[in-house]
Structure 1
Amino acid sequence: MEARGPDGCFLGDVGFWVERTPVHEAAQRGETLQLQRLIESGACVNQVTVDSITPLHTASLQGQAQCVQLLLAAGAQVDARNIDGSTPLCDACASGSVECVKLLLAYGAKVNPPLYTASPLHEACMSGANVNAAKLHETALHHAAKVKNVDLIEMLVEFGGNIYARDNRGKKPSDYTWSSSAPAKCLEFYEKTPLTLSQLCRVSLRRATGVRGLEKITKLNIPPRLIDYLSYN
């Protein structure tokens, strides 16, 4: 029996860490038919490169929504982190793709993943493999603010995004906006206006159910209107 890595990928001859795979290439280029064929043939959707980049990172960063959908449906890890700490949600925000962000959030992507300091291993890897890595401690909201996308900012906040989170430079998302700009006014509004109790309850419940529990929301014995609300429909 062939050995598998922690994500269920065959280690095989290429090893668990590779340069790139056909799945990465198809995801980056938006080749949905090729990606579907690869998935159906048993290709691993969670294979990581030497920079810990998964195909879902690649598709999200390129704004390839159809590929993101295929990968998520095939079991891609929604909160996988690459070597500089970014999740697919962060990359989708960096690309400015509202559609990709919606898909990732629908599959339970964490808007506020734990922020951590780079370990010695991360530091060593970043020094050799990615000299421009500087995303540790950046949330999806930081990326949305940087690309000046109000729609993304509003969506992330509605899903519980922390507008007060600080990155490795000690800056909040609002610190990356121009004064009086639309993104700045949007963040200022949320800083002064707390979320409603119903919204806080929705976010808390979704957080409590976890990624695997989200699909069970539609099966709850509660009014359809509440199910739609919890599902952001």
Structure 2
Amino acid sequence: SEGKQTMEVETARPYFFGDIGCWSERTEVHKAASLGQASQLQQLIQSGASVNIVAVDSITPLHEACIRGQAQCVRLLLDAGAQVDARNVDGSTPLCDACSAGSFECVRLLLDRGAKANPALTSRTASPLHEACMGGNADCVRLLIAMGACLEAYDLYYGTPLHVACANEYADCVKVLLNAGAKVNAARLHETPLHHAAKNMRVDLIEMLVEFGANVYARDQRDKKPLDYTAPGSPAAACLQFYESTPLSLQQLSRVAVRNILGTRALKVIGQLDIPNLIINYLCYQ
């Protein structure tokens, strides 16, 4: 027992000091948090182990619990005073990791404890909303937006969260973003979300984006339209050819016009208009 305690003290000994403070070897707290060993973690906390000690790359036990979606351990760490917005060497917060893991429970816990939905980003960090769109959990995306996450947060590599959701083919996330007012024609190097949908040959995403006003003629940095990325004769090609040759219906044009004017408030405002339900349904995306 004495030998084991000595070993744990050795493991936790700092070995590097930099701008961010003391780095130590990965501790027993890190391990328990990562593996979801709640009772072991509770014992360590009760015996006085630090929940804010940082391992290599400034990774805290809370980061590790969030990366693995270990909600019970996240709760224990936060109760013990873990810093909710601690940053690792890349600038990622635990919320970024929980979103990437697609763990709704961890995301909810962190936001309830004051985690920032829009932490300041570095060139190596995507926003929590980007990470949630990579993780593919539409409930996480919905919750982040409700907490004020920026729909147009821009990442140098990925573009906007809508780009990420389309590139990863998460239709539920795409729908949540569009309904919330994400800009359908946002561009990264002139590439739009519709280009991603076309490359992935996803007819459902193509139709959804066009319904929300996507420009089928948009050209990327290679001067290619979305149609140019589809296989000739494929359903995706046929869909884009139809949209290129057929004007949008009055209903589609009305919806796009309302969205352009109301932006992110569209869903809420349309439902409050003093007009017949039939017209409200006409203007709302189902």
With the shorter chain as reference, the TM-score category is 0.5 to 0.7
Does the 8 A contact of 2:90 with 2:125 survive in 1? no
1:86 maps to 2:92: yes
Paired position in structure 2 for 1:5 = none
Aligned AA (1:184): V
Q: How far apart in 2 are the matches of 1:39 and 1:109? A: 22
SS of the aligned residue for 1:28 comes to helix
Normalising by structure 2, what TM-score? 0.55
User: Which residue of 106, 114, 125 corresponds with 1:108?
Assistant: 114
Alignment size in residue pairs: 168
1:54 maps to 2:60: yes
Does the 8 A contact of 2:158 with 2:164 survive in 1? no
SS of the aligned residue for 1:46 comes to coil
Deviations 1:104-149 (A, max 9, x none): 00000000001234xxxxxxxxxxxxxxxxxx24111001111221
Paired position in structure 2 for 1:140 = 128
Does the 8 A contact of 1:137 with 1:166 survive in 2? no
Does the 8 A contact of 2:133 with 2:170 survive in 1? no
Q: How far apart in 1 are the matches of 2:170 and 2:73? A: 36
Paired position in structure 2 for 1:157 = 145
Moved over 6 A (4+): none
Aligned AA (1:30): G
How far does residue 157 in structure 1 lie from its aligned partner after superposition?
Answer: 0.3
Does the 8 A contact of 1:46 with 1:77 survive in 2? yes
Give the % identical residues.
49
1:14 maps to 2:14: yes
1:36 maps to 2:42: yes
Does the 8 A contact of 2:136 with 2:165 survive in 1? yes
How far does residue 50 in structure 1 lie from its aligned partner after superposition?
Answer: 1.4
SS of the aligned residue for 1:51 comes to helix
SS of the aligned residue for 1:111 comes to coil
Q: How far apart in 2 are the matches of 1:168 and 1:35? A: 38
Which blocks of at least 5 consecutive residues in structure 2 are unaligned? Answer: 1-11, 16-21, 182-258, 269-286
Q: Which has the higher contact order (CA 8 A, sep 6+)?
A: 1
Q: How far apart in 2 are the matches of 1:13 and 1:140? A: 32
Q: How far apart in 2 are the matches of 1:85 and 1:94? A: 14
Paired position in structure 1 for 2:212 = none
How far does residue 14 in structure 1 lie from its aligned partner after superposition?
Answer: 3.2
Normalising by structure 1, what TM-score? 0.68
SS of the aligned residue for 1:94 comes to helix
Which blocks of at least 5 consecutive residues in structure 1 are unaligned? Answer: 1-11, 118-135, 199-233
Q: How far apart in 2 are the matches of 1:170 and 1:56? A: 26
The equivalences for 1:62-211 within 5 A come to 62-117=68-123, 136-169=124-157, 171-178=159-166, 181-191=171-181, 192=259, 193-195=263-265
Does the 8 A contact of 1:53 with 1:82 survive in 2? yes
How far does residue 19 in structure 1 lie from its aligned partner after superposition?
Answer: 2.5
Q: How far apart in 1 are the matches of 2:85 and 2:118? A: 11
Q: Could you say which structure has the larger radius of gyration? A: 2
Q: How far apart in 1 are the matches of 2:170 and 2:144? A: 20
Aligned AA (1:162): C
Paired position in structure 1 for 2:205 = none
How far does residue 99 in structure 1 lie from its aligned partner after superposition?
Answer: 0.3
Q: CA RMSD in A?
A: 2.0
